[in-house]
Amino acid sequence: MRRPDPKIVRWGILIALLVAWEVVPLTGLLPELFLPRLSKTLNVLWIDLDKYWNALLVTLYEVVLAMVIACGFGILAGTTIGGIAVLRDLLLPVFSSLYAIPIVILYPIFTAWFGIGSESKIMFAGIYGFFPVMLSTAAGIRTIDPQFLLAARSMGATVFQQITKVIIPASLPTVFGGLRIGGALAIIGVVVAEMLTASAGIGYLVTLNRTILDSPRVFAGILCILVLSVAYDIIARRLERRMVVWQSAGRRQQQTSPRPVSQGAPAPAAA
Amino acid sequence: MKYWHIILIRAAILALVLGAWELAPRWGLVNPMLLPPLSDVLVTLQIQLARPTVQEAILITALEVIVAFIIAVPIGAAAGVAIAEFPYAGAIFKPMLFYVFSIPKSIFLPMFILIFGIGFQQKVAYAAFTTAFVVLMSATAAVESVKSDYILVARSFGATPLQILRRVYVPSMMPVLLETLRISMIFNFTGVMIAEMYASRTGIGHLISNWGENFQMPQLFAGVIMLSVVAIAFNETVRYLEARCSTWRT
Amino acid sequence: MQYVADLNAAKTTGAAIEIDRVSHVYAGPEGGVPALSNVSMKVGAGRFIVIVGPSGCGKTSLLMMMAGLRDHTEGRIDVHGAPMPKPDPERVGVIFQEASLFPWLTTFDNIEFPLSLRGMSKDERRRKSQPMLQLVGLTGFGERYPHELSGGMKQRVSIARGLVQDPPVLLMDEPFAALDEQTRMTMGHELLRIWETTNKTVVFITHSLTEAVYLADEVYVMSPRPGRMIDHIMVDLPRPRTYEMMATDTFGRMRDRIWQQIRKSH
Ligand SMILES: Nc1ncnc2c1ncn2[C@@H]1O[C@H](COP(=O)(O)OP(=O)(O)O)[C@@H](O)[C@H]1O
Ligand SMILES: [Mg+2]
């Protein structure tokens, strides 16, 4: 018997999960307090659509600014540190050591400094995303083949042309990879921060409804965040593939398997 | 640059940062209410470490971290090896892992609280849940990194599966294995911290979050320093072991 | 045996490249690494020169110096009568071992890369690259990316890129080393055809003795590090070369002579 296409199996799993979400609470296997039915969750989402929409806008606003910080500074610092040998030897090991600190413990400092509004979330999520973006960019810059620069020089490229015509295009895959990771981490950071201490945003709604034991509204929030992060991932991946058409088939394949943590790539965030 | 040059410059940078932390609030360059001088923080740290409530919190946090780790590693590793060893399972689940990567796992905290309440179990369960994914991903990568080449060679010399496991998998994966454990531990620690900061009655994460809410900045910074030192010390120890292992490996 | 430059060959056509007692020491601890010692050669215009020598003897270093990509400690290197303090693509084209094509550019854009550095318009660039593509036998592959080409095709693109500015001198550093034996033979043959139609001076580095004799007008043999010239062999096989010549006695004798020189020098 031929095995069904993995893609079909994946859709099957997704549908099964959605059905289980509806059926399991109905059968009483799990009380509705733990897992309210899907239909009920969607229903409260529909009723409170305005509220969730506004919260989502707040979250998105924070995510976008955090992304700008994480990716902007991350790529800048990563290029500098990865590209200049002295800085690399000096700082890269230090940053990898600092990476061990659970950054979430800094969040109370941020709320004390910036208040419980959007600023503290933006700063926290920005820093949360900064480190992995910086480390992966630095690692990527180092993999640029020196032969490319030699060839460009032999054809008479000036230093400026070497940067614009070789170094920048050669580092695009790394930079896009960094952008994707930085964005994902910015979402994670903002959501965590909103859940911990906030006065607005989807994470805040989840926590607020949890304390009053309104499970359907908690799950409505969870659903929003799930959709947001999966949609982000799909869009970012599409964009990345379109911008970097020239990547060889081999490299593209590598990217569809989980990043090997052992090769200096940033590990997935667990938050 | 020579090795000791690097060390010297790093020490100078560290001294600069710590010096600025001490002097900037003292000279009024920053508000000492927001950034208390380093010496005040260190004195506070000493006082806090002597308090029984803090000691108890440390003990509980440590227990949570250890238990969650012990639960997460075998589960994650088994799933990871399964995905790497069975191509069909890999074809199905690998693309899904990416979404798992980008989903903020903290949104599931309310479920853990609803099911386990606010206590030891909930923290362990949540941290183990987040850590298992990290272990899974790095275990998959680790197995795939040694698979084809070595094993083909070993088989061609007539090695039995057990010999392959002992002579090929374990030694060639040792550095990767340590790396996996190290990274998993970072995320495990983060998981416990988030769970404690989110809803808890004890533990270091809970204390930190309380100190923050009550604007007790010296205590807050003392807690952050302590946790950072522990995390970095653990990380460096494992990295040292990794380096040792890689030298005899290659 | 101390090598004495056979200058007569070069005199007939006038020198394209003149290397006069060049030595080089790479900076490093304990006085550095001596890479080249008192190297002299005179390359006549339009000649096909091959340099052979053991790994690490300084062949690449010498080529980089001719291309203006690296400085030398002592001596003089002139290309068409003037030194090369920096790369000059109008005088010298370089072709590297790995094709070193830019993976983010199509074949056309790769070939046109040196032209785009001088700000030439797109139409004009295409007018120049089109015949190059044809010359290397890749018509129709202009819009492909390097990862869609085979190893041999990549080297063809690389050669086209080296030729597009029509430099009188072409330097090639083991350009076919990464190819399989059959592709390598075909590429050598192709290169000779291109060389015969374009009248370039070629300096070609290789490890393969067969390739050396098959391609060259003259073969220079270098000693192990620090590299010196230990032999200079005139290959007087008729042109155009054919694969059948490889089976002849003359061919075998010349290959043996090179092999003996390399072996003795160890
Ligand atoms: N940039 C460099 N710095 C120091 N030593 C070098 C450098 N490039 C080459 N060398 C050394 O010089 C010698 C000659 O190298 P190379 O010219 O690459 O030899 P070949 O191409 O004949 O194999 C080698 O021993 C190599 O280690
Ligand atoms: Mg070489």
CATH of residue B176's domain is 1.10.3720.10
Q: Output the 3-class SS for A220-266.
A: HHHHHHHHHHHHHHHHHHHHHHHHCCCCCHHHHHHHHCCCCHHHCCC
- What local confidence, expressed as pLDDT, does residue C222 receive? 93
Judge whether C120 is closer than 8 Å to chain A, CB to CB. no
Domain ranges, residue A234: 38-244
Inter-chain contact B183–A210, Cβ cutoff 8 Å? no
- Among C238, C223, C229, C232, which residue's Cα sits nearest to residue C192? C238
Indicate which residue's Cα is closest to atom 6 of ligand 1. Answer: C26
Task: Give distance in angstroms: CA of C96 to centre of ligand 2.
Answer: 10
Measured CA to CA, the distance from residue C79 to residue C67 in angstroms comes to: 9
C169 touching chain A per CB within 8 A: no
Among chain C residues, CA nearest to A243:
C104
Distance in Å, CA C99 to ligand 2 centroid: 14
Question: Can you list the positions of beta strands (E) in B75-134?
Answer: none
Output b/e per residue, C93-128; b: 16+ Cβ within 10 A: bbbbbbbbbbbbbbbbbbbbbbbbbeeeeeeebbeb
Q: Does A167 touch chain C (CB under 8 A)?
A: no
Report yes or no on A119 lying in a domain: yes
In this complex, the residue of A147, A172, A247 whose CB is nearest that of residue C98 is A147
Provide the domain count of chain A. Answer: 1
Which string of DSSP letters, residue by residue, matches B123-167?
HHHHHHHHHHHHHHHHHHHHHHHHHHHHHHHHHHTT--HHHIIII
- Which single residue is written with the structure tokens 């994650």? B76
Determine the distance separating the centroid of ligand 2 and the alpha carbon of C56, expressed in angstroms: 7
Q: How far apart are CA A137 and CA B217, in angstroms?
A: 34
Q: Which helix (H) or strand (E) holds C49?
A: strand C48-52
Q: Give the whole-angstrom CA distance, residue C203 versus residue C213.
A: 13
The ligand whose atoms approach the alpha carbon of C59 most closely is 1
Structure tokens that stand for B178 in this block: 């340590």
Query: A87 or A153: whose pLDDT is higher?
Result: A153
What's the gap in Å between A84 CA and the centre of ligand 2?
Answer: 26
Q: pLDDT tens digit string along C47-88?
A: 999 999 988 899 999 999 999 999 888 999 999 988 989 899
Q: Which residues contact A127 (CB under 8 A, 6 or more apart)?
A: A69, A70, A103, A106, A189
Residue B149 pLDDT > 80:
no
User: What are φ and ψ of residue A6, in 5° steps?
Assistant: -55, -35
Condensed to tens digits (0 to 9), the pLDDT of residues A227-266 reads 999 999 889 888 888 877 766 544 443 333 333 333 333 4
User: What pLDDT is recorded for position B155?
Assistant: 66
DSSP string of A153-202, one letter each residue: HHTT--HHHHIIIIIHHHHHHHHHHHHHHHHHHHHHHHHHHHHHS-SSSH
How confident is the model over B162-179, as a mean pLDDT?
A: 72
Whether the CB of C70 is below 8 Å from some CB of chain A: the reply is no
For chain C, give the percent of residues with pLDDT over 70: 94
How close A148 comes to chain C (CA, Å)? Answer: 6
**Which residues of chain A make contact with C93, given a CB cutoff of 8 A?**
154
Torsion of CA B133, B135, B141, B144, to 10 degrees: -110
Q: Please tell me if residue C141 touches chain A, with a CB cutoff of 8 Å.
A: no
- CATH number of the domain that residue A214 is part of: 1.10.3720.10
The structural domain count of chain B equals 1
Looking at residue B152, its pLDDT comes to 66
Judge whether residue B246 has pLDDT over 60. yes
For the four alpha carbons of A80, A83, A86 and A90, in that order, the dihedral sign comes to positive
Closest C-alpha residue for ligand 1 atom 9: C61
**Ligand 1 mean position, distance from CA C100 (Å):** 19
Q: Name the nearest CA neighbour of C84 among C194, C201, C169.
A: C169
pLDDT at B87: 79
Which residues in chain C have Cβ-Cβ distances shorter than 8 Å to A247? 103, 147
**Residue B206 near residue B196, CB atoms below 8 Å:** yes
Residue C7 pLDDT > 50, yes or no?
no
Which residue has its alpha carbon closest to ligand 1 atom 2?
C26
Distance (Å) from the alpha carbon of A70 to chain C's nearest alpha carbon: 26
Question: Which ligand has an atom closest to residue C71 CA?
Answer: 1
pLDDT at B131 over 90: yes
Q: What is the ipTM of this complex?
A: 0.87
- B26 domain-assigned: no
Q: Is residue A6 part of a domain?
A: no
Which carries the bigger pLDDT value, residue A63 or residue A262?
A63
Q: Which of C89, C60, C64 is nearest to C227 (CA)?
A: C60
A141 CA → ligand 1 middle, Å: 24
Q: Please report the atom of ligand 1 found closest to the CA of residue C27.
A: 4
At which residue do the structure tokens 């797109």 appear? C122
Closest CA to C261 of C227, C232, C236, C235: C232
8-state DSSP, B118: S
What's the DSSP call for residue C51?
Answer: E
Only one residue has tokens 């694969």, namely C243
Q: Which domain holds residue B111?
A: 45-249
Which residue type sits at B5? H
- Per-residue model confidence (pLDDT) at position A157: 93
**Could you tell me the pLDDT band of residue B122, with boundaries at 50, 70 and 90?**
very high
Q: Which ligand minimizes its atom distance to the CA of C52?
A: 1
Answer yes or no: do C102 and A169 touch at CB < 8 A: yes
CA-based nearest residue to B183, from B105, B245, B146, B130: B130
Give distance in angstroms: CA of C3 to centre of ligand 2.
22
pLDDT at C191: 93
How many angstroms separate the CA of residue B161 from the nearest CA in chain A? 25
pLDDT at position A267 is: 41
Q: Is the peptide bond before A173 cis (omega within 30 degrees of 0)?
A: no
Alpha helices per DSSP H over C91-238: 107-117, 122-135, 151-163, 181-198, 209-215
Nearest residue (CA) to ligand 1, atom 4: C26
Strand order in the sheet with C33-44: C33-44, C15-26, C74-79, C82-83
Q: What is the mean pLDDT of residues B42-54?
A: 92
Cα first-last separation, chain A: 41
pLDDT digits (tens, 9 = 90+) for C202-218: 999 998 999 999 999 99
Determine the distance in angstroms separating the CA of A79 from the nearest CA of chain B, rounded to an integer: 20
State which residue of chain C sits closest to A154, comparing Cα positions: C87
Task: Please check whether residue C234 is in contact with residue C226, taking contact to mean a CB–CB distance below 8 angstroms.
Answer: no
Q: Give C238's Cβ-side CA count (13 Å radius).
A: 4
Share above pLDDT 70 across residues of chain B, in percent, rounded to a whole number: 89
Site residues for ligand 1, CB cut-off 6 Å = C 26, 33, 35, 53, 55-61, 225
Amino acid letter, C248: T
Closest CA–CA distance from residue B163 to any residue of chain A (Å): 25
Task: Locate C146 and state its tokens.
Answer: 């390097």
Closest C-alpha to A83, from A157, A176, A168, A178:
A168
Q: Rounded CA gap, C155 and C162, in Å?
A: 10
Residue B133 has pLDDT above 60, yes or no: yes
Mutate to test the pocket of ligand 1, among C33, C51, C63, C72 (most ligand atoms within 8 A of CB): C33
Yes or no: say if A136 and A181 are a contact pair by the CB < 8 Å rule. yes
pLDDT (0 to 100) of residue B28 = 86
Residue A113 in any domain: the answer is yes
Q: How high is the mean pLDDT of chain B?
A: 85
Chain C contact for A150 (CB, 8 A cutoff): yes
Q: Which of A175-184, B34-43, C253-262 has the lowest mean pLDDT?
A: A175-184
Per-residue confidence (pLDDT) for residue B1, from 0 to 100: 62
Phi, psi angles (nearest 5°) of residue C24: -150, 140
C-beta atoms of B92 and A257 within 8 A: no
Handedness of CA C192, C195, C201, C205 (dihedral sign): negative
Rounded to the nearest angstrom, the distance between the alpha carbon of C58 and the centre of ligand 1 is: 6
What would the mean pLDDT of C28-44 be, rounded to a whole number? 88
Rounded mean pLDDT of chain A? 84
| Per-residue pLDDT at C1 | 36
Which letter does DSSP use for residue C193 in this model? H
Instruction: Give yes or no for a contact between C184 and C133, defined as CB atoms under 8 angstroms apart.
Output: no
Least confident of A34-38, B99-103, C162-166: B99-103
Least confident of A210-214, C40-44, C170-174: A210-214
Contact A49, A157 (CB under 8 A): no
Q: How far apart are CA A192 and CA A117, in angstroms?
A: 14
C131 touches chain A (CB under 8 A): no
Q: Name the β-bridge partners of C218.
A: C49, C234
Q: With an 8 Å Cβ cutoff, is B141 touching chain A? A: yes
Residues on chain B touching A33 (C-beta within 8 angstroms): 114
DSSP 8-state secondary structure symbol assigned to residue B119: S
Helix (H) or strand (E) holding C79: strand C74-79
Q: Is residue A77 one of the residues assigned to a domain?
A: yes
Nearest CA to ligand 1 atom 3: C26
- In tens, the pLDDT along B221-244 reads 999 999 999 999 998 888 888 777
> In degrees to the nearest 10, what's the CA dihedral of B105, B107, B112, B113?
140
Identify the closest residue of chain B to A31 by CA–CA distance: B115
Cβ neighbors of A198 (< 8 A, separation 6 or more) are A116, A121, A204, A207
Residue C44: pLDDT band with limits 50, 70, 90: very high
C82 sits in which H/E element: strand C82-83
- pLDDT of the residue at A250: 41
Specify the 3-state DSSP secondary structure of C16: strand
Q: What is the pLDDT of residue A258?
A: 35
To the nearest whole Å, the CA of C161 is away from the closest chain A CA by 9
- How many Å apart are CA B84 and CA B75, to the nearest integer? 14
pLDDT of residue B150: 64
Q: How far apart are CA C98 and CA C84, in angstroms?
A: 24
Q: What φ, ψ does residue B83 adopt, rounded to 5°?
A: -65, -35
Is position B14 within any domain?
no
Q: Is the pLDDT of residue B196 over 60?
A: yes
Q: What is the pLDDT of residue C22?
A: 93
Confidence of residue B41 (pLDDT cuts 50, 70, 90): very high
Task: Please tell me the least confidently modeled range out of A17-21, A173-177, C123-127.
Answer: A173-177
The neighbours of chain C, by the rule of 3 or more Cβ pairs under 8 Å, are A
Mapping DSSP onto H, E and C, the string for B187-202 reads HHHHHHHHHHHHCCCC
Which of C22, C23, C25, C26 is the pocket-test mutation for ligand 1 (most atoms within 8 Å of CB)? C26
Q: Is residue A30 part of a domain?
A: no
